[in-house]
Structure 1
Amino acid sequence: MSTTYTVDSATSRATPTPAPMKRVTVPAVRARKGGEPVVMLTAYTVRTAQILDPHCDVLLVGDSLGQVVYGLPSTVPVSLDMMCAHGAAVVRGSYHALVAVDMPFGSYEASPEQAFLSASRILKETGCAAVKLEGGEAMAPTVEFLSRRGIPVIGHVGLTPQAVNALGGYGARGRSAAERQRIVDDAKAIDAAGAFAIVIEGVVEPIAIEITKSVSAITIGIGASAECDGQVLVTEDMLGLFDRVPRFVKRFGAISGEIEAAVKTYAADVRSRAFPTPDQTYAPKD
């Protein structure tokens, strides 16, 4: 038993609260290969992490926060400062799930040494257990460099959002035989380099199945296949916070409508002076 800073949901204030610190570990995740599927969702804030944590094996602080939180057009503008700030928040809001943080565009591609400096900063400033980076064969030396120096790495192949400008959009990858083989080779390369998990995003299903059967790392699908070793979604997509629903997303909630209904009622009560009532105000003491 140790302590971590968690949110007291009764007060909405961060307070030191005793919490068990037996988190899911990297070896425990890797051991799930071919077994019970790994549950992963994105998280960017303390409160979201606190809600998701009991139900997830891995919380991913994705650079998707650029679009979800900041309203950016893609993940490309996301900075290392952003990832460290949100990563630290998610670690503070959780005690069970393994927390992994995306390495943003420009923080690792130049060299393995640059990647190590960025990754070590992320681990130090957030307390997370792993980093995730995009790319295949070209990134294999970097994955090996980090892994050999004690930094667990999650790879990412197929549709790689940081490369949206080169790819020309967010369409599914692997429709041609040549591209299919390239994606499979990418996955095998980063698996051999030491990645303990590989996200497979936006590929035609046979590719995801082939990769899952060909690598020792666990595979995490998003727009891939139910035969992957686990699944990940952007939490806000899964909860129905946005109007647009990508093909690979199943909505498990309709939070947008609930929020709008609550705000509409609040606005009406304020305008009619029905809020606040004596229950929400302070009477003078005798």
Structure 2
Amino acid sequence: MSAADPLLADAAASVPRRLPAGTGSFVFFRNELATVFRRRRTITLLVVLAAVPFLIAVAVKLSSQQIAPGEGPTFLDRITQNGLFVGLTALVVCTPLFLPLAVAVVAGDTVAGEANLGTLRYLAIAPVGRLRLIVTKFLTATVFCAAVTVVITGVGAVVGTLFFPVGRVTLLSGATISPAAAAGREFLVAGYVTISLIGLAALGLFVSTLTDIPVGAMAAVAVAAIASQILDSIPQVSWLHPWLFSHYWLGFGDLLRDPIVWTSLLHNAVLQAGYVAVFGSLAYGRFATKDLLS
């Protein structure tokens, strides 16, 4: 097999199947999910992100030095006492950079990738249509956001259970809960992080409609994610902070209190919904008038 064969195979896996007339939205959505999740780069992203909690657990397990409270990423000092904190630590590590980069790769490729492969004009005509295509692309990116957070959380829970003791968990408020309840809180945090990423996915969808070069769209979305976090750290523009899509990304600590404080989750959900509404509308407006030559 030549060196180009794997690239050709990956490109072939990216080409969606021609849909018969009358195909329902669910079938089209299912086919789109299959197309995205069988790509080699998607699988690679999932494997790399799954390796983060594993590497954290191995590093802590092999370290002979006791981690002082507050040293390193949040929750890192609690891992040796309870393995359920591996997944939470991995989410803290991945949220600022690794997860946005992964979402940028998938969201930036949604439309631009089809245009680059020459399949976009076939998808945009009946029976699919442009509106259904845009909605399906966004929903697929949203499922990917959920998949990466669940993978990190799930691998963290499994590795933490294997490497460290698991018992009652002390929450940030000082109360203790059972391991089962703690696992539920951990996946609730994963849901929070998923919600945090959908605004970026909507931005990526819009950028993807502006170009036929997927790498350019991916880079633009990644830069936007980094720029948002930089602006969020500058006090001179504090008036802008509540409007930045990254402002509440690390606010899931409120879900680890007893009782749960829902304020950050609600603010985050409203903010991300606003980004979805704005950039989703812009994406459709751009795509609806786009001259599909590809």
TM-score by length of 1: 0.24
Give the TM-score normalised by the residue count of structure 2.
0.24
> Which structure dedicates a bigger proportion of its chain to strand?
1
Structure 1 or 2: larger helix share? 2
